[in-house]
Amino acid sequence: MMDMEMNAELERDGASETGEASSEGSSTGSAYCSLEQDFARITSEMKSNEALAAYEAEYTRLFESLYKAHRLEEELTEKCRLLKEDVTEGSGRIQELERKVLADAESMEHLRKEILEGKKLADAAHTREQKAQEVIENLRISIAKLTDELGQKNKQLASEENSVAAKQKEGLSKDRERLIGEVEALRQRLKTVNSYKQEIEDKLNESEQRASELQDKLDRQANEMAKERREHEKIESELQLVHDELRSRLADLQRRYVNVSLVKTAEEALKSTANNAARQDNILRDQVLENEKNQKEIQKLMLKQMMMKTEADKVSAKLEEARKELFERNKHIKEINKEVQRLKEEMGKLKSEKESSLKKLAKEKSLSSKADENLKRVSANLRNAELEIAALKRQLDAERKTIEKLNRDKDAAAKNATLLEDMNKKLALEIRVYEQTNRKMEASLEEITEESSELKRQVKSLEKEKDRCTVEAQELLQQVEDYADEVKLKRLEISDYQKRLADAEAKLRQQQTVFEDIRAERNSYKKSLSLCQDEIVELKNKTKELSSQIDQLKEQLSVKEANLVKQEFLFSKTEKEKESLKSELQTSRKNASDIRRELEDMRQEEKRLRAALQESDANAARQRKEIEAVINERDVIGTQIVRRNDEMSLQYRKIQILEETLQRGEKQYCQRLEEIRLLQLELKKLKLEKAALEKNTANLCDLRGEVFHLERNLTKERLKVMALEEEVQNPLNVHRWRNLEGTDPDTFELLKKIQILQRRILKMSAELIAKEKKIRETEKLYMNLREIIAKQPGPEVLLHLSKTRRALRDRGKKMKCLVAELNMTLTAEHKFELDKVKRELHAVKSKYLAQKKRELKAIEPAKENLPSVRTSSIKFHGGGFNLSTPIVNSCTTSLVTVNK
């Protein structure tokens, strides 16, 4: 039944495979069919032969194990094919993912360009807004100046006609309306610019969101790629394991083929007894062909094994390179950490300097604001004093004129008095109008002061936010330092684990060298065993030749004895022919002497053969002792290997624990990296806000300086215009070529102070710019450091290490199994060979005893048939010898003694 099932399965296997595999499968299937037929024939012969019935179960077990090995080989080839398909699919997926990553990178680059363009547009809008604010400020200043000029001109031209004042008033009101319209238009432009700025900020936020989404997408795709690579590596490791299993199965097949060859040699011995040499030759030829095929397959598999070994060497070289790179990167990271510490210290110094400079700036701002207030107050006082002086001058001139006019004609004084009264009334009316306008201007000034107070409040709130952000940044930097310390500790732990791993690998190499030495000793013992077996075979062949020679000699002896019997029978019949019989007797005596010599030679040869048999027995006993010693050594080595395996298992457990701790540390490290990334994003936002605020503050300082300069120039020009108008109206200076002398020391000193303060502000702004450059450089260094840290190996290398360790564990287990199987097969082979030698010795001895018995049985009837020759009288013949004594057949007596 089992044979039928095996044949059916082999036919199914041969029918199922296609392509190249089908051709190979058909060749192997035909080989297995021939093996199946031989197995059926040999089992039938074993069943018929009682001597071989004891080996039938062993032979069937060997064939079943061979069949199972064949089935396992087919399953493993199928697994290899499936794994190769999985590998191709995984490589295709990886290529697709790489394409997606490239596309995402391109889209990210496009979005970055859009963000930069948006930032440029926002900067342009910001500059436009600043310019619009400057224009508004200038317009406000010009409005204030015009209102002042209006007031002065109204006071100066109080004495002129009402028509000219009305026209000037109308023109000034028109100018004012025009300026108000321009202010409204500028406000509208400001609103549009603010809305445009808001839109740009919204677009920037959207683009940042898209960039963050793309970054998340990239991270997900990178994780998927890492997973795919892990699966790829897993499949490769499984392929390696399958190849290892194939090698082990091939080794089992080779051993089983050896066993099959031993069984077939036993069959040949049995067939030689049955005189079936021709059939044995045919089987031997088939076996030689099958062995050649198997050797070719084994060579192919050995080539594959060599290829896999080269690949493994390449992988080990890559691992060593990766370890070197890890070591170099760890060194680089240590240097970077030192640089980071130095930069942090510098950052702390810069922050302290920045805080001190900000405090100084605040003090200087307060001083400048006080100086501005003092300047405004002084300028107002100056304006009032100038107005009072002008009014006094006018009054003096009017008094002089009135005195002259009073001296000339008193009547004109009355007219002038009436005119003055009218002018006073008009001036009262104009003063009321100007008071109303002044009230309106005061209201607008109050609004402007309220707006300025609001702006100051906003600036204060922004400064508070800036202080809060600086505090948060300090806290975040402290956290980053803590995380850096933790990373250092983790790296130290990793370096310790790597040292332990290196020690474990060194121990493993030592054990491998010991195992290779044991394997070399085993191979040497195998060679010596094969030599001993060859010597035993030669001795057996010699014994066979000697037994054939002994058989030939015995046949010759039997023929000669038959001739002797015939001659003695004729001698007893024919007494008349005594003389002839005597001569024949002499010849027969000579023949008997020759036969005796031959028998002696035969005895010596028998003794020599017995000595050779004893020597072969002694050799066999010596070899048994050697085998026992080898078995004892093998047991000792097995115990050592078991101990080493236990140590290895302990080391592997420790490595597993260390790997688990490493994985936990990696997870925490990834979490800390994510937190650092979020904190860096927050820092960037805060820095951008800070830069915007600093730009605004810098612009305010410049605007204040420009306002101050413009006001100073304006006051100078106004004074000049007023002086020139007064001189034109009242040419009091007779000598026009003389310069007017006069100084204003208070304003000059104030201007000097203001210039000194402005220089200080410029110095502080330059220092601030230098410090901002330093901060940018530190940020660049930080980003470079982060990129270097990101480039360093992550959990993929550790996964690869864990896989290699698992593969080493599996190989160790397989080595144990192979060692155990090798020991079992060696003991079985030795037992089988010893039993075979014992059986052959027993068969030779039994043949020898049977031959002896046959010879004794053949000699006894010949002895009984021989007649006794007797003489009646005493006769002398020849040289005077007495021939009356009865002659006994010496040949027969000698043969009897020999037989005894």
- Give the pLDDT confidence of 582-616 residue by residue, as tens digits: 676 677 677 767 777 877 777 787 777 778 778 87
In degrees and rounded to multiples of 5, residue 576 shows phi and psi of -65, -35
Is the pLDDT assigned to residue 744 strictly greater than 60?
Answer: no
Gap between the Cα atoms of 150 and 179, Å rounded: 14
Is the pLDDT assigned to residue 733 strictly greater than 60?
Answer: no
Rounding to the nearest 10 degrees, give the CA dihedral for residues 765, 770, 774, 777. 110
Gap between the Cα atoms of 686 and 681, Å rounded: 9
Looking at 100, 121, 148, the residue that finishes a domain is 148
Residue 869 forms beta bridges with which residues?
A: 887
- Give the pLDDT confidence of 444-486 residue by residue, as tens digits: 667 766 776 677 777 777 777 777 777 776 777 777 777 777 7
Specify whether 578 is located in the same domain as 710: no
Specify whether 491 is located in the same domain as 511: yes
Is the pLDDT assigned to residue 824 strictly greater than 80?
Answer: yes
The total number of structural domains in the chain stands at 5
Gap between the Cα atoms of 801 and 579, Å rounded: 109
Here the tokens at position 339 are 């640089």
DSSP state of 1: -
Higher pLDDT, 700 or 691: 691
764 Cβ neighbours under 8 A, 6+ residues apart: 357, 360, 361, 364
Q: Which of 255, 256, 253, 234 is nearest to 245 (CA)?
A: 253
Specify whether 758 is located in the same domain as 773: yes
Number of CB atoms found within 10 A of residue 515's CB: 16
- Give the pLDDT confidence of 715-724 residue by residue, as tens digits: 888 888 888 8
Contact 760, 190 (CB under 8 A): no
Gap between the Cα atoms of 449 and 524, Å rounded: 109
Highest average pLDDT, of 193-207, 419-433, 712-726, comes from 712-726
* Residue-wise burial string across 92-125, b where 16 or more C-beta atoms lie within 10 A, e elsewhere: ebbeebeeebeeeeeebeebeebbeebeebbeeb
SS3 879: coil
Q: Which of 885, 892, 895 is nearest to 865 (CA)?
A: 892
Range of the domain at 512: 464-666
Contact 757, 371 (CB under 8 A): yes
Tell me, letter by letter, the H, E, C secondary structure of 735-746: CCCCCCCCCCHH
Contact 858, 898 (CB under 8 A): no
Contact 812, 645 (CB under 8 A): yes
Q: Is residue 113 part of a domain?
A: yes
Lookup result for tokens 């199946």:
36
From residue 604, alpha-carbon distances to 72, 87, 518 in Å are: 59, 77, 47
Number of CB atoms found within 10 A of residue 889's CB: 19
Q: Residue 295's pLDDT band (boundaries 50, 70, 90)?
A: low
From residue 749, alpha-carbon distances to 96, 204, 375 in Å are: 77, 50, 11
* Residue-wise burial string across 253-263, b where 16 or more C-beta atoms lie within 10 A, e elsewhere: bebbbebbeeb
Gap between the Cα atoms of 267 and 280, Å rounded: 9
Residue 887 forms beta bridges with which residues?
A: 869
Here the tokens at position 203 are 């677009």
State which amino acid sits at residue 395.
Q
State which amino acid sits at residue 159.
S
Gap between the Cα atoms of 94 and 102, Å rounded: 12
Rounding to the nearest 10 degrees, give the CA dihedral for residues 264, 270, 274, 279. 0
Percent of the chain with pLDDT over 70: 57
147 Cβ neighbours under 8 A, 6+ residues apart: 437, 441
Highest average pLDDT, of 246-255, 282-291, 474-483, comes from 474-483
Gap between the Cα atoms of 39 and 646, Å rounded: 43
For residue 818, the number of C-alpha atoms closer than 13 Å in the C-beta half-sphere is 19
- Give the pLDDT confidence of 403-419 residue by residue, as tens digits: 676 667 666 656 666 67
Highest average pLDDT, of 25-34, 80-89, 383-392, 691-700, comes from 80-89
Here the tokens at position 279 are 């059939």
Contact 612, 535 (CB under 8 A): no
Q: Is residue 646 part of a domain?
A: yes
Specify whether 551 is located in the same domain as 618: yes
Contact 78, 42 (CB under 8 A): no
Specify whether 759 is located in the same domain as 816: no
Q: Residue 14's pLDDT band (boundaries 50, 70, 90)?
A: very low
pLDDT confidence of residue 407: 66
Contact 97, 221 (CB under 8 A): yes
Q: Is residue 153 part of a domain?
A: no
- Give the pLDDT confidence of 863-881 residue by residue, as tens digits: 555 554 444 444 444 444 4
Q: Is residue 265 part of a domain?
A: no
Is the pLDDT assigned to residue 510 strictly greater than 60?
Answer: yes
Specify whether 703 is located in the same domain as 622: no
SS3 870: coil
Looking at 815, 836, 853, the residue that finishes a domain is 853
From residue 61, alpha-carbon distances to 64, 65, 592, 874 in Å are: 5, 6, 59, 83
Gap between the Cα atoms of 676 and 477, Å rounded: 10
SS3 574: coil
Specify whether 814 is located in the same domain as 753: no
- Give the pLDDT confidence of 651-677 residue by residue, as tens digits: 778 888 888 888 887 888 888 888 888
Lookup result for tokens 């791993």:
501
Lookup result for tokens 């190849």:
243
Contact 237, 807 (CB under 8 A): yes
Q: Residue 30's pLDDT band (boundaries 50, 70, 90)?
A: low
Specify whether 600 is located in the same domain as 485: yes
- Interhelix angle 2-16/19-48, rounded to 10 degrees, is 170
pLDDT confidence of residue 870: 47
Helix (H) or strand (E) holding 255: helix 162-273
Specify whether 701 is located in the same domain as 622: no
239 Cβ neighbours under 8 A, 6+ residues apart: 80, 83, 84, 87
Specify whether 643 is located in the same domain as 761: no
Is the pLDDT assigned to residue 221 strictly greater than 80?
Answer: no
Pairing relationship of beta strands 876-877 and 881-882 according to DSSP bridges: antiparallel
Higher pLDDT, 575 or 507: 507
**pTM for this one?**
0.23
Q: Is residue 545 part of a domain?
A: yes
Mean pLDDT score, 305-325 = 65
pLDDT confidence of residue 225: 66
* Vertex 429: Cα angle to 425 and 430 (nearest 5): 115
Specify whether 619 is located in the same domain as 507: yes
In degrees and rounded to multiples of 5, residue 571 shows phi and psi of -65, -40
Q: Is residue 11 part of a domain?
A: no
Mean pLDDT score, 362-391 = 68
What is the chain's mean pLDDT, rounded? Answer: 70
pLDDT confidence of residue 674: 86
Tell me, letter by letter, the H, E, C secondary structure of 4-66: HHHHHHHHHHHHHCCHHHHHHHHHHHHHHHHHHHHHHHHHHHHHHCCCCHHHHHHHHHHHHHH
Helix (H) or strand (E) holding 777: helix 745-791
Specify whether 575 is located in the same domain as 709: no
pLDDT confidence of residue 580: 62
Gap between the Cα atoms of 357 and 351, Å rounded: 10
Looking at 148, 164, 196, the residue that finishes a domain is 148
Contact 560, 595 (CB under 8 A): yes
Tell me, letter by letter, the H, E, C secondary structure of 698-751: HHHHHHHHHHHHHHHHHHHHHHHHHHHHHHHHCCCCCCCCCCCCCCCHHHHHHH
* Vertex 643: Cα angle to 641 and 644 (nearest 5): 60
- Interhelix angle 19-48/162-273, rounded to 10 degrees, is 30
Q: Is residue 496 part of a domain?
A: yes
Mean pLDDT score, 262-270 = 50
pLDDT confidence of residue 477: 74
Q: Residue 353's pLDDT band (boundaries 50, 70, 90)?
A: low
Is the pLDDT assigned to residue 758 strictly greater than 60?
Answer: yes
Contact 286, 31 (CB under 8 A): no
Gap between the Cα atoms of 458 and 460, Å rounded: 5
**Where does residue 253 fall: left (phi above 0), alpha (psi -120 to 50 degrees), or beta otherwise?**
alpha
Mean pLDDT score, 803-827 = 83
Mean pLDDT score, 327-343 = 69
Q: Is residue 870 part of a domain?
A: no
pLDDT confidence of residue 586: 74
Gap between the Cα atoms of 80 and 375, Å rounded: 94
